[in-house]
Amino acid sequence: MTIATHELLPGATDPPLGRVVFLNGTSSSGKSTVAEELLRTLDGPWYHLAVDHFHRARSRHDWTDEEFLPIFQRTVLGFHRVVAGMASAGNDVVVDHILGERWRLADCLEVFAGFPVYFVGVHCALPELERRERARGNRTIGRAALQFPQVHQAMQYDVEVHTDEQTPTECATQIIHQLHTPPTAFSSRSR
């Protein structure tokens, strides 16, 4: 049996780096909704990659907390590298993530060094986060409250949106407007 092969398009072996719109916010802050609106609104092909998708893709077992922690960390570290792989192949990516622990940010700063990363703070007031958690029914109640004081601590963003005050379309429009200028927040951050 012969398998058809196709040659790569000219320039496909060394494409320019894709843009990364990096949405950082607590659980239930509206990152996925904003990402979906961005994909509907942005020109050209964009990919939405969410850390939650990677956790759901993992096999399920009854691990102890001690057994699960390194598995969890490897999943997050792998997610960062998948995003970088997509962008290094010239794909534009919207990332949906929670940088609630310093090791996540440190790894992202290393992995995405040199990439055009637009760092977006996705904010939502705690009472609204708690209301959304209860309404969704598929979230651990209290997770957003635990993440709330940590996720945006000492962060500098290229743009910040407030999903409890703005519609998804308004958030997306604000982010897209920022794409007309070079990003600075992520690349200038010291480790």
Nearest CA to 178 out of 123, 100, 117 is that of 117
From the list 14, 43, 52, 65, the catalytic residue is 52
The string of pLDDT tens digits covering residues 139-180 is 677 778 888 888 898 899 999 999 999 999 999 999 999 999
| 142 CB burial (10 A radius; 0-12, 13-18, 19+) | exposed
Q: Which amino acid is at 185?
A: A
What ranges do the domains of the chain cover?
A: 20-179
For domain 20-179, the CATH class is alpha beta
What is the arithmetic mean of pLDDT over 67-77? 86
Q: Which amino acid is at 178?
A: Q
The string of pLDDT tens digits covering residues 7-66 is 666 655 667 899 999 999 998 899 999 999 999 999 999 999 998 877 777 778 888 878
Q: Which residues have CB under 8 Å from 135's CB, separation 6+?
A: none
Q: What predicted TM-score, i.e. pTM, was given to this entire model? A: 0.87
Residue 98 has pLDDT above 70, yes or no: yes
Q: Binding site for ATP: residue ranges?
A: 25-32
What is the arithmetic mean of pLDDT over 97-114? 92
Clarify whether 52 is annotated catalytic. Answer: yes
User: Which residues, listed in sequence order, are joined to residue 24 by a DSSP beta bridge?
Assistant: 97, 121
